[in-house]
């Protein structure tokens, strides 16, 4: 899945006027797709605005208590490369 396909799949949860996923790494996209699937099971009104790298660190802007977990996972992935 590409980042455009990810954003299209999750369009219903994307906040207006935001671009969503900007990271093109397939591992990050797959991970976030799985995490979003789990998130909407218990938080159906969940929204997200951006998933990006900023100053070499992951930033996930979303209405979820998991954003810190997601950011650490993405950061760890990039540290191991």
Over residues 41-52, the pLDDT tens digits come to: 999 999 999 999
The domain tally of the chain equals: 1
Place of tokens 């950011």: 71
Residue 80 reports pLDDT greater than 90: no
Indicate the pLDDT class of residue 79, thresholds 50, 70 and 90: confident
pLDDT for the residue numbered 46: 96
What per-residue string of b and e applies to 59-70 under the rule 16 or more CB within 10 Å gives b? Answer: bbebebebbeeb
CA dihedral (49, 53, 55, 58) in degrees, to 10, reads 80
Distance, in Å, from the CA atom of 81 to the CA atom of 44, rounded to the nearest integer, reads 34
Q: How far apart are CA 70 and CA 38, in angstroms?
A: 12
Question: Which domain range does residue 34 map to?
Answer: 3-79
Of 8-12, 66-70, 76-80, the poorest mean pLDDT is in 76-80
pTM above 0.85, yes or no: yes
In the prediction, which pLDDT does 66 show? 97
């Amino acid at each position: 899945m590409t980042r455009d396909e990810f954003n299209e799949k999750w369009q219903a949860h994307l906040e207006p006027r935001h671009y969503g996923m900007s990271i093109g790494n397939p591992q990050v996209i797959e991970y976030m797709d799985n995490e979003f699937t789990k998130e909407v099971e218990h938080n159906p009104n969940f929204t997200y605005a951006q998933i990006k790298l900023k100053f070499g660190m992951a930033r996930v802007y979303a209405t979820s208590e998991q954003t810190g977990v997601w950011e650490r996972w993405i950061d760890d992935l990039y540290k191991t490369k």
